[in-house]
Amino acid sequence: MQEDKFTYSHTHREVSMAAIVLYPTTGMGHLISMVELGKLILTHHPSFTVNILLPTAPYATGSTAQYISAVSTTNPSIIFHHLPPVSLPLDPASYSCVEALTFDLIRLNNPNVHTAIQSISQTSTVHALILDFFCNAALDVATELDVPAYFFLTSGASFLALFCHFPTIDRSTNKNFKDLETTVNLPYLPPIPLSHMPEPMLEKDTTEYAGFIDCSVGLSKSTGIIVNTFSTLEPKAVKALADGVCNPDGPTPPVFCIGPLIVTNRQIGNEGDDKVLGSECLTWLDKQPSQSIVFLCFGSLGLLSKEQLREIAIGLEKSGQRFLWVVRNPPSEDKKQRFLTQPDPDLNSLFSDGFLDRTKERGLVVKRWAPQVAVLNHEAVGGFVTHCGWNSVLESVCAGIPMVAWPLYAEQKFNKALLVEELKLALPMNESETGFVSATEVEKRVRELMESEEGNSLRERVTAKRNEAMKAMEEGGSSRVALAKLVEQWK
């Protein structure tokens, strides 16, 4: 495994390699996205080396060692650099949210990032520093070292367009967004209530809100923005970004839509029985009729209460549909537990009313994880109930699977509006004012997705977008052209 443990030599060696430095924030999801970007660059432009800087998390994020080892073995041009630990001003459990902690962690890591890039520069010419959205503070390092800085946004172009407008929205009111019924109406986006913005952006006088404002302003200071989407998926937003109309305060840097970038062979690395779980899912799917299964999965952070899980169970049972459902433990009420790896759920305890026995002929409930890309691309799967995380959206589009949109956190409420109202690739899962979804609503939407004419129309539109996605990634396709233009800037 290639890793730099930061034992520095001050010997000046001949600079010969062309290097790109990628800087994700902590967490497996952010790391995997950056690795996939690195792989994409190397596939089409193998003359580069890709260096990935890994900040040390001050809390348990799950081991990444096995994943990093596997990537290093199969991709020798990807080199991982572990940044030294930093001391946070607060205990991790004392932060109001993960985002506030992350902004502090990234800011305090700037000296380490500076040292790391200087070390890499001893043997290579660093052509670009590509920052995770949350790593805005490292723009200062790029400026100090005179290295062009880019952002990599794992959300879509539409959310980027909204986010570029964020400082303008901020100036329009002194009130907290969570207290407003005001709707943001921009011609290139679906209408979105301010109360549906990501949770860390709902209250103004917070560290996390200030951090997001800084990130929005930082976008305009970068050399370019790389987005995991393709131009015909979100044509209005892509055009608005190209025309520079999303940021009234100044110019928008060039935007490079290089997606869909999805993980086709996902090695999680911190959960030893993933292969067994994956095999169980796929073996079970092999026995099911074509396009008969609705797949329910809410991401690694999508935790639902025990009451909500039981309501889903009732709805699924009443729907009569075949299903594959990934269940995680309900969230802990202890804030200190939020950074710890959750144990497997006790399914017999969660569903003590006999649900598992009654539905065993047509449903499979799996604990914690399933090989999502493989499941979505299986012949037996015909629909996807999703939390609307952008990676999951792209995976569903690339598999040609229509969705039911059930957002839980981050920018997912916005993604729901985009999928339902603008792109018409999903049905909405409607919730109460408290955010609870009834069994009746689950039953209705699952049936509608799998049995109705509207469900069939969604399926046709998603299939068309899948074909467009494939064309975008082909030689001469829009995403390949965008990647070539990006790399041309580095040369």
All structural domains of the chain: 17-263+472-489 (3.40.50.2000), 273-470 (3.40.50.2000)
Regions of the chain where pLDDT drops below 50: 1, 3, 5-15, 267-272
Residue 326, class by beta-carbon neighbours within 10 Å (0-12 exposed, 13-18 middle, 19+ buried)? Answer: buried
Q: CA 480, 482, 484 angle in degrees (round to 5)? A: 70
Residue 476, class by beta-carbon neighbours within 10 Å (0-12 exposed, 13-18 middle, 19+ buried)? Answer: exposed
Give the C-alpha separation, 406 to 417, whole Å: 11
Distances (CA, A) of 269 to 39, 129, 337, 481: 18, 26, 21, 33
Residues 6+ apart with CB under 8 A from 92: 58, 59, 101, 339
**pLDDT for 149-167, tens place per residue?**
999 999 999 999 999 999 9
Residues 6+ apart with CB under 8 A from 159: 153, 390, 411, 414, 415, 418
Using the structure block, give the residue that is written with the tokens 């604990």.
Answer: 367
Give the C-alpha separation, 369 to 387, whole Å: 14
**Residue 344 CB-half CA count within 13 A:** 12
Distances (CA, A) of 321 to 19, 219, 288, 343: 51, 45, 12, 29
Whether omega for the bond prior to residue 193 falls within 30 degrees of 0, making it cis, is no
Which tokens hold the place of 191?
Answer: 């209408």
Cβ atoms within 10 Å, residue 491: 8
**First-residue to last-residue Cα distance in the chain:** 29
Closest CA relative to residue 382, chosen from 314, 451, 318: 451
Closest CA relative to residue 259, chosen from 30, 1, 40, 10: 40
- The strands making up 322-327's β-sheet, listed across from edge to edge, are 363-367, 322-327, 293-297, 381-386, 403-405, 426-428
Which tokens hold the place of 464?
Answer: 């068309």
Give the C-alpha separation, 31 to 267, whole Å: 12
Residue 32, class by beta-carbon neighbours within 10 Å (0-12 exposed, 13-18 middle, 19+ buried)? Answer: buried
Q: Specify the pLDDT at position 276.
A: 62
Q: How many Å separate Cα 184 from the centre of its chain?
A: 23
Q: Specify the pLDDT at position 277.
A: 59
Which tokens hold the place of 360?
Answer: 């065993």
**pLDDT for 19-44, tens place per residue?**
999 999 988 888 999 999 999 999 99
Q: Specify the pLDDT at position 270.
A: 39
